[in-house]
């Protein structure tokens, strides 16, 4: 099983900047800024996270980036078949309850090997 970002879903509903604030169970408050930048030619999204943690007078901040590759259903199937897998199902993820649609940001590929 493979879980991946679904190119059709990202194209239909492109990622955008957002800010969320959470209160953590230990009393700290976390503010998370997300800034995605999509390279549509390579189907890679650079997702930059800026995190601020606060509790009283204490404050900490840090950032990190993730390069997220998006795949079309066809690409996933071709890659699986190329390594000898038999594709069984390409559902939306994480639900795994029906085929992935253009609305779904996540797709799964469920396959089995020749000896399975």
**36-94 residue pLDDT tens:** 999 999 999 999 999 999 999 999 999 999 999 999 999 999 999 999 999 999 999 99
* 114 — pLDDT class (breaks 50, 70, 90): confident
CATH code, domain carrying 12: 2.20.25.110
Range of the domain at 23: 2-112
Looking at the structure of the chain, the number of domains it has is 1
For residues 114 and 76, the model is more confident at 76
pTM here is: 0.81
Cα separation, 93 vs 77, in Å, equals: 16
């Amino acid at each position: 099983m493979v879980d991946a970002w679904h190119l059709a879903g990202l194209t239909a509903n492109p990622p955008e900047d957002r800010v969320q604030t959470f209160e953590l169970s230990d009393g700290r408050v976390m503010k998370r800024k997300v800034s995605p930048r999509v390279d549509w030619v390579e189907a890679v999204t650079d997702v930059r996270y800026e995190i601020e943690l606060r509790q009283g007078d204490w404050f900490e901040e840090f950032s990190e980036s993730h390069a997220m590759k998006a795949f079309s259903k066809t690409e996933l199937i071709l890659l699986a078949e190329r390594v000898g897998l038999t594709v069984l199902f390409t559902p939306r993820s994480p639900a795994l309850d029906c085929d992935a649609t253009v609305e779904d940001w996540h797709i799964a590929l469920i396959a089995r090997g020749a000896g399975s």
